[in-house]
Amino acid sequence: MLSGWENYGTLFIASFTHLWIIVPAVVLGILVGAIPGFSAQNTLLILLPLTLVMDIDTSMAFMVSVYCASHMGAGIPAILINMPGTGGHAATCLDGFAMTKQGRSQEALAISAFASVAGGLFTTILAIAFLPLLSRMGLYLHSVDMVVIMVFGLCLIAMIATDDLVKGLIAGFFGLLMGVVGTDFIYGTPRATFGFIELYEGVPLVPALIGLLAISEAMVMFERETIALSSQEARQKVSGWTGTFEGIRQCIRQWWILAWTSFIGLLIGIVPGAGASIASFVAYAQARLFSADPQSFGRGSPAGLIAAESSNNGVTSGTLVPLLAIGVPGGTTAAVMAVVLQYNGILLGPRLFTDRPETAYGIFFSMLAAYIVMVFLVLPLARYVGTIVLIPTRVLVPLILSLTVVASLANRGYVFDIYVALVFGVIGYICRRTGYNVIAVLIGVLLGPLFEQYLLRSLRLGQGDLQILFSSSIGNTLWGLLALSLALQWWKGRKMRRVLRDGPAAKETINPY
Amino acid sequence: MPDEAAFMNRRGFFKIAGSFVAASAIGGAAGQGIAANYPSRTFDVIVPTREGGGADGLSRAFINSWKDKIGQNFERQFSPGAAGQVGYELYFKQREMDGSNLLFGNVSAEMIMYALQKPDFRFPEDIYYFCGIDTDPCGIWVSGESPFTSVEEVVETAMKRPVSVAVSRLPHPGTIGLLALAEATGAQFNIVPYGGGNPQVVAVLNGEAECGGGGTAGYIEGARILGVFDREEFVLAETRGDVPLINEVFGTDIPSLYSTRSWAVHRSWADANPDDYKVLQDTSAAVFDDPRFKEEIVQSGVTPWDGVRFRDQSTCMALAQSMVELATKYGDQLTAG
């Protein structure tokens, strides 16, 4: 184990000796993250022959930099064209794209960059300081506890569907129904696949997200001249650095949301298999719950965007904890890192911290260095990248549609996935035009399979007895917190309705999602 | 002049046409010569599991030696899903049967999938497993903090109440071992599939499940292997220590149950091209004598070296057949109906 600030300081300084590889890795990570459908995992697999021949510390510095930067890069298309490249960035679209439509793309990009960096830095420091404790926390969470965490995420359906609860719930259940497609988690029997082997693993997530959000949005965009509702106003907002500074100001002002939601990301990231999808929605729901202005969520709320982005980057630190502490990768990218570590003869697990503390902690210090590099590389870009909102939709929409084809295909390489994206695009468009909540469908598709997996596993452990769901003390505490959250939500809604009824200026009631 | 020119053109035309035909004939013959010189192109390999797992590391190490011996490179495509069914269906439905398309699968687990899900391909009519690489014996293991110290204690407890056992997936030889042990001793095992080795390990380490059932090759610090399903010996004794054989402990006659990753090819191509198939078999078998292969396996730790052993076509096919029979026998407990 590392002890003493001197050792930490030495490792921190040593991580900057890898700056020559961290800088290009960050640039690469942002690029692959910004191309929907590509991911850090795919990139690291392609570059595996290169990383295998590098010195292990350099190799890990390269991989964690690509990993962190790709998480940040994936926020860019989600904000600018409503196209999430991964499940973890679906929540980014909710307020990120709403801000873009208001001409605040520069501010949104600055928030994304700052919240990602700050969330990543905060959770990395936490991971370094409390690594042994955090690794045990991953082991404390059981399947029944994860069921409650999933319910936290699913409750967002009810939260965002307050304008038309019935339609919102129908949309949510439709999404859950879509999430059931594929082989079941216990016996591996195909369900509702209609003979398509491409559906055996379930509805492919990236094409479904791209269809529901990006393609349906592109169809709607045809009806406007530019993405921004007022191109004149947008032109003023993207010129100069005002948006960037406003984004940074918003993040600093709402520092506690940033810290709290990145911590949620860290905790969920520690649990193998959970990942950024659930973390970002749980974090978003939490930010909305404690917000003084929950009605602004989905309408371009900086707090909503901060929650989604900081939790995403909290997950990146979290997934590495079980990998190093018990030798179990917390996610697919961590699994690729495990290959490289093992190839270099590094034994993962508790002994890593006594045998090679410089490698174990060095990985997190490299992550720290990568985040610092990102501040200087990404923030200045917000001003220029944000001008995309001024491109006429007659040019932008065909570009977006072409990108959706590439993005759908890139993840698994199946042509079938392009059709999935198109089908979900039509579903999304119909939802938008008929007042059904697209995000509720999306949450169902995204979290439904995870919820089913943990629920069936818990019920199997309890041999069918529902009491198993209330058998864990952590789970019971979480159930209590969930009940409190829902009660708080109900109370705030009631208060808000009273204000709206009594006040002269009622807020806009159009469903923002 | 025009006539002469026309005449010359005709002659020219015939000359050129003649040359072209001759060149085509020579080229064709040469082409046939190349085709006969198997293999003529890069191998495309379908791996029916995810990147980053044991099959990934094992196939990479194997290919690094094999490509020099066979003179061609390999491109792998990972197609996980439905206990391997996605990869197999892709291999049989969308890949040409030309000897350049191979499959790298887990014989035991995927033949159980075959028996239970009845996919479109046929065993043994459509496939030859021709080079098994490793042996991952199935057994029962616990975390370092488990109160169980022996497999007898596990069974004794399971005879009084159900004992929860985490497995990576139900269609797995380890599950069959547990079902056979339960049948022979009257023990009750609550078998819970975790959808992968990593969540299974976490479930055992955090005490959510009392034991783990399945492969014993993957090293987990602090874990203890209590018994293995093998009729003869624990092949990993050198690296994992002495472990009792479950048959010896309980006087049962449960078959040896282990996972073996193996190369496979379309059977129709192999039967139609026996010489080319022999090239595949001979060069793959030669990899086991390559010190570089051993070095890479040992260095990467993807599996213990004492578990690496060559299994030829007949051994692999016999293992596959026995798995189909066992899966059929326990089919009701391994499927929803």
pLDDT at A459 exceeding the cut of 50: yes
pLDDT at A372 exceeding the cut of 60: yes
What is the pLDDT, as a whole number, of residue A311?
93
CA B111 to chain centroid, in Å, comes to 10
Q: Classify burial at A494, counting beta carbons within 10 Å of its beta carbon; exposed 0-12, middle 13-18, buried 19 or more.
A: exposed
At residue B110's C-alpha, the angle toward residues B119 and B151, to 5°, is 135
pLDDT at A176 exceeding the cut of 50: yes
Of residues A183, A187, A328, nearest to B201 (C-beta): A328
Distance from CA of A331 to the nearest CA of B (A): 10
- Does domain B137-250 fall under CATH 3.40.190.290? My reply is no
Helix residue spans in chain B (DSSP H): 2-36, 54-70, 85-94, 107-117, 151-160, 173-185, 197-205, 237-240, 246-250, 267-272, 274-286, 291-300, 313-329, 331-334
What is the pLDDT, as a whole number, of residue B74?
96
What is the pLDDT, as a whole number, of residue A130?
85
Q: Which helix (H) or strand (E) holds A465?
A: none
SS3 for A116-137 is HHHHHHHHHHHHHHCHHHHHHH
pLDDT at B188 exceeding the cut of 90: yes
Domain ranges of chain B: 43-135+260-334, 137-250
What is the pLDDT, as a whole number, of residue A219?
85
pLDDT at B20 exceeding the cut of 70: no
pLDDT at A108 exceeding the cut of 70: yes
What is the pLDDT, as a whole number, of residue A338?
83
User: What does the DSSP 8-state code read for residue A507?
Assistant: P
Q: Rounded mean pLDDT of chain B?
A: 87
What is the pLDDT, as a whole number, of residue B14?
47
Q: State the fold for domain B43-135+260-334.
A: D-Maltodextrin-Binding Protein; domain 2 (3.40.190)
Give the model confidence (pLDDT) of A277-291 as tens digits. 788 988 998 898 888
What is the pLDDT, as a whole number, of residue A239?
66
pLDDT at B154 exceeding the cut of 90: yes
> Mean pLDDT, to the nearest integer, of B228-244?
90
pLDDT at A2 exceeding the cut of 70: no
What is the pLDDT, as a whole number, of residue B23?
47
What is the pLDDT, as a whole number, of residue B17?
47
Domain ranges of chain A: 5-502
CB contact B336 to A (< 8 Å): yes
- Residue A332's contacts (CB-CB under 8 Å, 6 or more residues apart) are A41, B50, B51, B52
Greater model confidence, A46 or B282: B282
For A349, which residue in chain B has the nearest alpha carbon? B221
Q: Residue A377: which pLDDT band, with cuts at 50, 70 and 90?
A: confident
pLDDT at B195 exceeding the cut of 90: no
Greater model confidence, A386 or A79: A79
Of residues B52, B57, B193, nearest to A186 (C-beta): B193
Give the model confidence (pLDDT) of A304-333 as tens digits. 999 999 999 998 888 888 888 777 776 778
pLDDT at B4 exceeding the cut of 80: no
- Put simply, the chain A residues between 336 and 375 with a CB less than 8 A from any chain B CB are 336, 338-339, 342-345, 347, 349-351
Q: Residue A159: which pLDDT band, with cuts at 50, 70 and 90?
A: confident
Q: How many angstroms separate the CA atoms of A69 and A113, rounded?
A: 10
pLDDT at A201 exceeding the cut of 80: yes
CB contact A273 to B (< 8 Å): yes
- Residue B283's contacts (CB-CB under 8 Å, 6 or more residues apart) are B66, B69, B70
What is the pLDDT, as a whole number, of residue A229?
60
pLDDT at B126 exceeding the cut of 80: yes
> Mean pLDDT, to the nearest integer, of B19-33?
44
> Mean pLDDT, to the nearest integer, of B271-296?
95
Task: Please give the structure tokens belonging to residue A499.
Answer: 């204000």
- Put simply, the chain B residues between 31 and 60 with a CB less than 8 A from any chain A CB are 50-53, 56-57
Q: For residue B270, which of B261, B260, B262, B280 has the smallest C-alpha distance?
A: B280
Greater model confidence, A183 or B7: A183
Dihedral angle sign, alpha carbons of residues B126, B128, B134, B140: positive
Q: Which residues of A touch B192 (CB under 8 A)?
A: 457, 460-461
Give the model confidence (pLDDT) of A467-500 as tens digits. 999 999 989 999 999 898 888 878 877 777 777 7
Return the residue in A197, A340, A469 with the most chain B beta carbons within 10 A, the one to mutate for interface testing: A197
- Residue B14's contacts (CB-CB under 8 Å, 6 or more residues apart) are none
What is the pLDDT, as a whole number, of residue A510?
46
Q: Which residues of B touch A183 (CB under 8 A)?
A: 81-83, 85
At residue B56's C-alpha, the angle toward residues B54 and B58, to 5°, is 65
| Cβ separation B86–A200 shorter than 8 A | yes
Q: Residue A456: which pLDDT band, with cuts at 50, 70 and 90?
A: very high
| Residue B301 phi, psi dihedral angles, 5° rounding | 65, 20
Q: Which residues of B touch A345 (CB under 8 A)?
A: 299, 301
pLDDT at B15 exceeding the cut of 60: no
> Mean pLDDT, to the nearest integer, of A448-477?
92
pLDDT at B24 exceeding the cut of 50: no
Greater model confidence, A501 or B54: B54
CB contact B333 to A (< 8 Å): no
Q: Which helix (H) or strand (E) holds A328?
A: none
pLDDT-above-90 percentage for chain B: 65
Contact assessment for residue A421 and residue A408, using Cβ atoms and an 8 Å cutoff: yes
Q: How many angstroms separate the CA atoms of B271 and B274, rounded?
A: 6
Whether the predicted interface score ipTM is above 0.90? no
pLDDT at A506 exceeding the cut of 70: no
> Mean pLDDT, to the nearest integer, of A30-44?
81
> Mean pLDDT, to the nearest integer, of B82-94?
91
Q: Rounded mean pLDDT of chain A?
A: 84
Give the model confidence (pLDDT) of A60-101 as tens digits. 999 999 999 988 888 998 998 888 877 788 899 999 999 988
Task: Please give the structure tokens belonging to residue A326.
Answer: 């018990």
Among B183-192, B211-220, B224-233, the range scoring the smallest mean pLDDT is B211-220
pLDDT at A119 exceeding the cut of 90: yes
> Mean pLDDT, to the nearest integer, of B103-117?
93
Q: Residue B67: which pLDDT band, with cuts at 50, 70 and 90?
A: very high
Q: Residue B33: which pLDDT band, with cuts at 50, 70 and 90?
A: very low
Q: Which residue has the tokens 């923002």?
A: A512
pLDDT-above-90 percentage for chain A: 28
Give the model confidence (pLDDT) of B297-318 as tens digits. 988 778 889 999 999 999 999 9
Of residues A188, A344, A413, nearest to B170 (C-beta): A188
Q: Residue B273: which pLDDT band, with cuts at 50, 70 and 90?
A: very high
Among A111-125, A403-417, B70-84, B298-312, the range scoring the smallest mean pLDDT is A403-417
Of residues B52, B196, B220, nearest to A327 (C-beta): B220
What is the pLDDT, as a whole number, of residue A394?
82
Give the model confidence (pLDDT) of B93-102 as tens digits. 989 999 999 9
pLDDT at A230 exceeding the cut of 70: no
Give the model confidence (pLDDT) of A346-359 as tens digits. 777 767 777 777 88
Q: How many angstroms separate the CA atoms of A297 and A306, rounded?
A: 11
| Cβ separation A200–B203 shorter than 8 A | no
pLDDT at B16 exceeding the cut of 80: no
